[in-house]
């Protein structure tokens, strides 16, 4: 009894990483437990019903889970917890959605009382048709997503074995010329294809786009790709042309400016969720072709209406790509029921250790407000407080000092407030990319940055997502969207791409001391600290005197 794992009564699992059996243990618990925190010594996993059902969907049974816990646990595992795990896992698969040769889509059960229970629910009743036999009930094909969502809410997740339509075939090959899918990417594609639909969790910079491309090469069918914004859409297009046999002409962009529908179409969430007079005019996109695969980029940002559309697309293969399953709105269960169970994940540190993402040095620089700023801060309205402390003049000095220190490297300055950014741009003599910058202008600037023609770029939150800036080695964050952990991870992701010369990336977060800026920063950093990215804290004075 000296295993690496400690099972807590609140269903968290603590894994001592320095233990000799830690790796073996990690491998057996990863399928059913969600990695919650991965700081340096003890990793925390959490066992949730969704996690257990994910494991069931991946073919693990309760016996394996219980055995894994009992085998690796340092202390006796509470009996109640084992019973609970077995019972929870047992709930998955009692109900199955499948295709009946005569009746079409049916819901069958191996446990009649469960079927009786769910059929008595008011929410299930409108989704089902006639009872064919005591264990089988008809389901309207259009309600396939709805019923999965509802059953999950009732605690009886249904296993979807109804299969997929192949969709319109379209030849897509990976063009592995001078590069190759990394082993974990290959594994992710394989797991996804084997599972049918689901979500692949990879850290920013770990090459999620290539996993998407790999999945398309597997499907060899027309593909609809949903991304967060236009820049990201261009990025996808660029990457697909480069990495696959697809040509520019085969890839369409469906966004606010262009409405192309081609064998591979990249659409933005924003255009899909545009509403005019209470209807979504761009919904037809989903039906405009016989799609064989639907890709969701950044699943954790999927807007609520897209879930609704997705519910109607259950007959098509769906692949979700994300850096985290944690959603700030708590709709993880919708991701599970509508897109699919988690098919693959790998912690950041592991991929970093394999050399696929750059190691990063994260530093929080604390600046003091001046006395007059402190008075202004104290008297500011609550909603203005963050703006006051986040845009303190000292931050500018610190940023300038940092830029001086890393002169010659590719530096991104990221912030929330346009005035602040404009001011910084002026002082640093660097171009500013913000909401009003045209897409053409953005691409031009990005390109210049990539080529090394510009070494400092000031960007607002428009650059948060999916822009590949390969040689950015330093990121300086001066303000953010309050306490968004999500954003922090994305911004760190900007500098995590492996560097050509392999040198370290730097991530600086400039924070005003003793203000809510500091509280927000703590909240933002928590996610990364839990992922093993420890922040150092520095005083601004220290930094300023150093560089002087």
Partner 1 sequence: MSPETTAPRSLAEALRARDDASLSALLRSRPDLITPVPTDLTQLATRAGTRASVVRALERLDRFTLQTAEALAVAREPATYDELLGLLAGDDNDPTVTAAFPHALGTLREQALLWGGDDRLRLMRTARELLAPSPQHPSPTGLGPTVGEATAGMSPGRIQEIVAAAGLASTHDSVSAVASLSALFSDRSRMSALLDEAPAEAVEVLSRLVWGPPYGQVTAEPAAHLRWLIGRGLLLPTGPGTVVLPREVALHMRAGRAHRVTEPLAPPVEVSATRRPQAVDAAAAGQAYTTLATVEELLKDWHEGGPAVLRAGGLSVRDLKRTAVALDVSEPVAAFWVELAYAAGLLASDGETEERYAATPAYDAWLELPAAERWARLASAWLSATRTAGLVGGRDAKDRTLSALGPGLDRSAAPEVRHRVLALLAELPEGAAPATDSLLARLYWERPSRSARPAPDDLRARLAHWTLSESELLGVTGRGALSAQGRALLGLPATADTKEAEPSGPGDKLPAHKRHHPVTAPVPHSPAERAAAATRAAGLLAPLLPEPLDHVLLQADLTAVAPGPLERPLADTLGVLADVESKGGATVYRFTPGSVRRALDAGRSASDLHAFLAAHSRTPVPQPLAYLIDDMARRHGHLRIGAASAYVRCDDEAVLNEILADKRSQEFGLRRIAPTVLAAQSDPAGLLTGLRAMGFAPAAESAEGDVLISRAHAHRAPPRAAPEPVPDGPPVPDATLLGAAVRAIRAGDLASTAPRKEDPAAGRPVDGGLPRTSSAETLATMQAAVMTGEAVWIGYVNAEGAASQRVIAPIRVEGGFVTAYDHTADEVRTYPLHRVTGVAELADDQS
Footprint of partner 1 (CB under 8 A): 1, 6-10, 12, 14, 16, 37, 39-42, 44, 70, 73-79, 82, 364, 513-514, 526, 529-530, 534-537
| Cβ-contact 248, 263 below 8 angstroms | no
Task: CB nearer to partner 1: give 75 or 179.
Answer: 75
- Residue 135 is encoded by which pair of tokens? 């264990």
Give min distance, CB of 262 to partner 1, in A: 46
> What would the 3-class secondary structure string for 28-71 be?
HHCCCEEEEECCCCEEEEEECHHHHHHHHHCCCCHHHHHHHHHH
- Between 46 and 220, CB nearer to partner 1: 46
Smallest distance from the beta carbon of 150 to partner 1, in angstroms?
A: 28
414-446 burial by CB neighbour count: b if 16+ within 10 A, else e?
bbbbeebbebbbeebebbbbbeebeeeebeebb
Name the residue nearer to partner 1 (CB basis): 34 or 364. Answer: 364
Smallest gap from Cβ 9 to partner 1, in A, equals 4
- The pair of structure tokens assigned to 462 is 């428009």
Query: Which candidate, 365, 362, 325, places its Cα nearest to that of 347?
Result: 325
Q: Do 262 and 249 form a contact (C-beta atoms < 8 A)?
A: yes
Nearest-angstrom CA–CA distance, 168 and 152: 31
Bridge partners for 267 per DSSP: 226, 254
Measured from the CB atom, is 160 or 488 closer to partner 1? Answer: 488
Backbone angles phi, psi at 49, to 5 degrees: -55, -40
Among candidate residues 133, 122, 134, 128, the one with its CA nearest the CA of residue 105? 128
Q: Are 419 and 392 in contact (CB under 8 A)?
A: no
Whose Cβ is closer to partner 1: residue 84's or residue 190's?
84
As given in the structure block, the two tokens for residue 421 are 């950014």
Contact by Cβ (8 Å): 45, 33? yes
Token digits of residue 519: 């509280």
Pick between residue 76 and residue 408 the one whose CB is nearest to partner 1.
Answer: 76
146 or 392, CB closer to partner 1?
392
CB of 381 to partner 1, least distance (A): 23
CB of 531 to partner 1, least distance (A): 9
- Residue listed under structure tokens 């190759």: 180
**Closer to partner 1 at the Cβ: 280 or 535?**
535
> Between 69 and 401, whose beta carbon lies closer to partner 1?
69
Give me the least distance between CB of 460 and partner 1, in Å please. 28
Nearest CB to partner 1, comparing residues 472 and 543: 543
Please state the closest distance from residue 206 (CB atom) to partner 1, in A: 21
CB of 14 to partner 1, least distance (A): 5
Region for residue 376 given its phi and psi (left: phi exceeds 0; alpha: psi -120 to 50; beta: otherwise) = alpha
Cβ distance to partner 1 smaller for residue 125 or 537: 537
Q: How far is CA 517 from CA 26, 387, 478, 491, 544, in A?
A: 36, 9, 10, 17, 20
Nearer to partner 1, 283 or 516 (CB): 516
Q: What angle do CA 524, 526, 527 make, to 5 degrees?
A: 85
- C-alpha 11/C-alpha 81 separation (Å) is 7
Identity of the residue, 61 or 530, whose beta carbon is nearer to partner 1 in the bound complex:
530
Angstrom distance (rounded) from CA 64 to CA 86: 10
For the beta carbon of residue 126, count every other beta carbon within 10 angstroms.
11
* DSSP line for 68-135: HHHHHBSSPPPHHHHHHHHHHHHHTTSEEEEEETTTEEEEEESSHHHHHHHHHSTTTGGGEEEEEETT
- Nearest-approach distance from CB 160 to partner 1, in angstroms: 33
Nearest approach in angstroms of CB 16 to partner 1 is 6
Shortest Cβ distance from residue 294 to partner 1 (Å)? Answer: 36
Minimum CB distance to partner 1 smaller for 6 or for 283: 6
- CA 481 – CA 524 distance, rounded (Å): 10
Q: What minimum distance in Å lies between the beta carbon of 10 and partner 1? A: 5
Least distance to partner 1, CB of residue 522, Å: 8
C-alpha–C-alpha distance, residues 352 and 359, integer Å: 6
Please state the closest distance from residue 55 (CB atom) to partner 1, in A: 21
Cα–Cα dist 234/150, whole Å: 36
- Tokens (6 digits) for 193: 């294809």
Burial category of 20 from C-beta neighbours within 10 Å (exposed 0-12, middle 13-18, buried 19 and up): exposed
């Amino acid at each position: 009894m000296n295993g690496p794992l400690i099972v807590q009564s609140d269903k968290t699992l603590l894994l001592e990483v320095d233990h000799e059996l830690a790796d073996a243990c990690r491998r057996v618990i990863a399928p059913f437990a969600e990695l919650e925190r991965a700081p340096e010594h003890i990793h925390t996993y959490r066992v949730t019903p969704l996690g257990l059902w994910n494991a069931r969907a991946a073919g693990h049974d309760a016996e394996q889970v219980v055995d894994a816990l009992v085998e690796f646990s340092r202390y006796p595992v509470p009996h109640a917890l084992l019973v609970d795990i077995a019972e929870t896992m047992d709930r998955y698969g009692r109900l199955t959605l499948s295709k009946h040769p005569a009746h079409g889509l049916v819901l069958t059960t191996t446990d009649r009382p469960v079927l009786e229970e769910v059929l008595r629910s008011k929410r299930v009743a409108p989704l089902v048709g006639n009872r064919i036999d005591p264990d089988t009930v008809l389901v309207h094909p259009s309600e396939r997503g709805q019923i999965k969502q509802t059953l999950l809410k009732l605690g009886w997740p249904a296993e979807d074995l109804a299969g997929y339509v192949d969709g319109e075939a379209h030849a897509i090959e990976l063009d592995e010329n001078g590069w190759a899918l990394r082993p974990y990417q290959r594994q992710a594609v394989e797991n996804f294809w084997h599972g049918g639909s689901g979500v692949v969790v990879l850290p920013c910079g770990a090459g999620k786009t290539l996993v998407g491309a790999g999945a398309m090469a597997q499907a060899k069918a027309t593909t609809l790709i949903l991304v967060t914004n236009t820049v990201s859409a261009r990025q996808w297009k660029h990457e697909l042309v480069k990495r696959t046999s697809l040509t520019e002409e085969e890839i369409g962009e469906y966004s606010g400016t262009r409405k192309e529908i081609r064998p591979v179409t990249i659409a933005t969430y924003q255009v899909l969720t545009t509403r005019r007079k209470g209807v979504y005019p761009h919904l037809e996109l989903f039906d405009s072709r016989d799609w064989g695969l639907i890709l969701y980029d950044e699943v954790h940002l999927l807007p609520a209406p897209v879930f609704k559309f997705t519910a109607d697309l259950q007959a098509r293969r769906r692949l979700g790509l994300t850096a985290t399953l944690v959603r700030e709105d708590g709709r993880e269960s919708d991701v599970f029921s509508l897109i699919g169970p988690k098919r693959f994940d790998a912690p950041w540190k592991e991929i970093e250790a394999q050399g696929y993402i750059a190691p990063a040095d994260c530093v929080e620089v604390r600046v003091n407000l001046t006395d007059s700023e402190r008075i202004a801060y104290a008297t500011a309205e609550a909603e203005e407080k963050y703006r006051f402390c986040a845009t303190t003049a000292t931050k500018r000095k610190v940023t300038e000092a940092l830029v001086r220190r890393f002169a010659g490297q590719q530096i991104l300055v990221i912030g929330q407030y346009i005035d602040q950014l404009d001011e910084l741009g002026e002082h640093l003599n660097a171009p500013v990319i913000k909401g009003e910058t045209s897409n053409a202008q953005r691409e031009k600037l990005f390109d210049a940055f990539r080529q090394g023609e510009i070494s400092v770029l000031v960007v607002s939150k428009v650059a948060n997502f999916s822009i590949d800036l390969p040689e950015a080695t330093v990121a300086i964050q001066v303000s953010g969207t309050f306490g968004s952990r999500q954003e922090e991870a994305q911004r760190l992701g900007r500098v995590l791409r492996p560097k050509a010369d392999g040198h370290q990336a730097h991530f600086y977060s400039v924070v005003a001391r003793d203000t809510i800026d500091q509280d927000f920063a703590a909240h933002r950093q928590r996610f990364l600290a839990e992922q093993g990215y420890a922040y150092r804290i520095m005083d601004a004075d220290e930094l300023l005197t150093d560089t002087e």
